[in-house]
Amino acid sequence: MKVKAHSRSGFTLIEVLIASVIFALIAVNIAMVTRTGSQAAANGVMRELLDSELDLTLDRIKLALMSASADNVYPQVSAPASNERIEFSTSLGVEAGVHVMGDPERIEWIPTENETGRVIWTQAAGLPGERQIQWSKSVPTLQNKEVINLGDDNFNGLVDEPGLSFHMNHASDEEMQVFITLTVTKTDSSGKVVPANRQVNITCRN
Ligand SMILES: [Ca+2]
Ligand SMILES: [Ca+2]
């Protein structure tokens, strides 16, 4: 008697289902690894932009204030108080024995409709040739970890200080020092607000 061989071709439904599940699991894993990798890369770029904006803004403020005349810097507030605005004139040099002063300038924090405000440098403030230049648009209302409560929450010696803050140290027998404290923030790929902050100081000659 001839027995018909049971030939097999193709896959059973179970095999197809198992293969599909394995394929789906691998695809999900690849997607997760890729997403984590690209998120990490995006956050690395964001961190570099954040640091460079902080450095560049502080460098510009320092450079502008470097030749400010100590007698022409307002308001002169000392820690724990500080101000989000500084007005000054720079000394251009001496002409016929008299100090020649440059046009009045101003550096200040200005709020926007967003959560962060702008740092603006004004040249020839109040004069016909007045000019305003933006140095940053990522500065929050208050310094990192500071809240309005009449206390120093971030332990930097300043109370309720703004995101851009200026304060002075002017001992009678010393040259005036201006301290600049700045917080800059950016939002990472997961929507989290990441801050960077630093304090620098410069000495103003009389
Ligand atoms: Ca503080
Ligand atoms: Ca506070």
pLDDT digits (tens, 9 = 90+) for 53-74: 999 999 999 999 988 988 899 9
Task: Please give the DSSP secondary-structure letter assigned to residue 79.
Answer: T
pLDDT band for 178, please (50, 70, 90 cuts).
very high
The pTM is what?
Answer: 0.81
- Domain assignment present for 98: yes
- Domain assignment present for 52: yes
Domain containing 106 equals 38-204
- Domain assignment present for 22: no
CA–CA dist 52, 206 (Å, integer) = 32
For residue 181, is pLDDT > 70?
yes
Q: What is the three-class DSSP state of 78?
A: coil
pLDDT attached to residue 8: 65
* Ligand 1 centroid, distance to 92 Cα (angstroms): 35
| DSSP per position, 120-155 | EEEESTTSTT-EEEEEEEEEESB-TT--SSSS-TTS
- Domain assignment present for 30: no
* Ligand 1 centroid, distance to 79 Cα (angstroms): 10
Give me 128's structure tokens. 């016909």
pLDDT attached to residue 2: 54
* Ligand 1 centroid, distance to 151 Cα (angstroms): 7
Lowest mean pLDDT among 112-116, 194-198, 199-203: 112-116
Contact status, residue 205 vs residue 192, Cβ threshold 8 Å? no
pLDDT attached to residue 105: 97
Give me 150's structure tokens. 């009449």
- Domain assignment present for 163: yes
pLDDT attached to residue 67: 86
Structural domain count, the chain: 1
* Ligand 2 centroid, distance to 143 Cα (angstroms): 9
* Ligand 2 centroid, distance to 203 Cα (angstroms): 27
Q: Is 78 exposed, middle or buried (0-12, 13-18, 19+ CB in 10 A)?
A: exposed
pLDDT attached to residue 6: 56
- Domain assignment present for 127: yes
- For residue 160, the ligand closest to its alpha carbon is 2
- Domain assignment present for 156: yes
* Ligand 2 centroid, distance to 87 Cα (angstroms): 25
- In tens, the pLDDT along 72-130 reads 999 999 999 999 999 999 988 889 988 899 999 999 999 999 889 999 999 999 999 99
- Domain assignment present for 13: no
For residue 5, is pLDDT > 60?
no
Give me 76's structure tokens. 């002169």
- In tens, the pLDDT along 6-51 reads 556 678 889 999 999 999 999 988 888 888 888 888 888 999 999 9
* Ligand 2 centroid, distance to 139 Cα (angstroms): 17
* Ligand 1 centroid, distance to 170 Cα (angstroms): 20
pLDDT band for 174, please (50, 70, 90 cuts).
confident
* Ligand 2 centroid, distance to 157 Cα (angstroms): 10
